[in-house]
Structure 1
Amino acid sequence: MRRVVDLVGKPFQEGGKGPDGYDCWGLAVEVFRRHGILVPDYRLTCETVTSGVTSKSDQWARCVGEVPAPALIVFTTVGIADHVGVYLGAGKFIHAHRSAGVAITGVDHIFWKRRIEGYYAPGWLT
């Protein structure tokens, strides 16, 4: 987690990819980069990114069983997959959300736990 702790508290910024603000996908790209993994910067809406991740098994592999860190977490918050975070291990994930900015949250948090659509690893690494 120390690789990302400096990101906590940064504000949410639509289309933001740092360093002064992030949206959920911009933050995911940065967190994976800090772990030495380059992922595509789709630069589309979050809804488009998440539906692309969940449908592109050649690029993203759904995690079954043990979840590696880092792994992309896709959330369904308004009836569609529309938010992503990055699983950091030890039951924690980092994400950029409109209401809180960049935060580290537990996957068992009452709001987020029931909204997890799935965990995904970059398919080219599996």
Structure 2
Amino acid sequence: MWSDGWIGIPYQELGRGPESYDCLGLFLALQRVRHGRDLFDPLCTMTAAARLNLAAKTRPDWRRVDRAVEGAALLFKVKGLALHVGYAMGGRFMLHASGEIGESVIEDYQSSAWGSRLEGIYVYGS
């Protein structure tokens, strides 16, 4: 499966690959490799991005949807703020870099661990 080479990559804050990634770094890399999109990278932590409201700069490029398709951004709340992003694989699964686990993993984004924290599902383009 295409995702095999993306599983188990070490987590590192501000990691942009290929040796390590944080959640945003992995999401951006997957967008580039899987969809040919070179998306805006604020080169800061998700906490700093939330504090600076950087999502407002990129929001016009994304559309909120009800169902995840491959490549959709899955935004999750951490401490009440949208601070974590996962790459939707389609269906119920996401590939993401987890600081808690310490590496990139595939998980069910509708699971009890993630489902209640889902802020929204977004696809690129109008």
Mapped to 1, the partners of 2:13 and 2:20 lie a distance apart of 8
Which residue is 2:45 aligned to? 45
Q: Which residue of 2 aligns with 1:120?
A: 122
Q: Which runs of 5+ in 1 are unaligned?
A: none
Further displaced range: 99-108 or 52-61: 52-61
Structure 2 CA distance for aligned equivalents of residues 32 and 54 of structure 1: 19
C-alpha deviation, 1:79, in angstroms: 1.4
* TM-score (structure 2 length as normaliser): 0.85
2: CA distance, partners of 1:19 / 1:25: 13
Q: Where does 1:34-73 land on structure 2 (aligned, <5 Å)? A: 34-38=33-37, 39-49=39-49, 51-53=53-55, 56-63=58-65, 65-73=66-74
* Residue number in structure 2 paired with 1:75: 76
Query: C-alpha separation between the residues in 2 aligned to 1:3 and 1:71?
Result: 16
1:93 aligned residue: 94
Question: What is the distance in 1 between the residues matched to 2:114 and 2:59?
Answer: 24
* Aligned residues of 1:4 and 1:31 also touching (Cα < 8 A): no
> Identity of aligned pairs, percent?
27
Higher deviation after alignment, 78-87 or 42-51 = 42-51
2:110 maps to what in 1? 108
In the alignment, is residue 12 of structure 1 matched against residue 14 of structure 2? Answer: no
CA distance in structure 2 between the partners assigned to 1:105 and 1:30 by the alignment: 18
Work out whether residues 47 and 83 of structure 1, in 8 Å CA contact, stay in contact via their aligned partners in 2: no
Q: 1:83 to 1:54 in 2, by over 3 A?
A: farther
| TM-score, with structure 1 as normaliser | 0.85
Whichever residue aligns with residue 117 of structure 1, its letter is E
Q: How many residues align?
A: 122
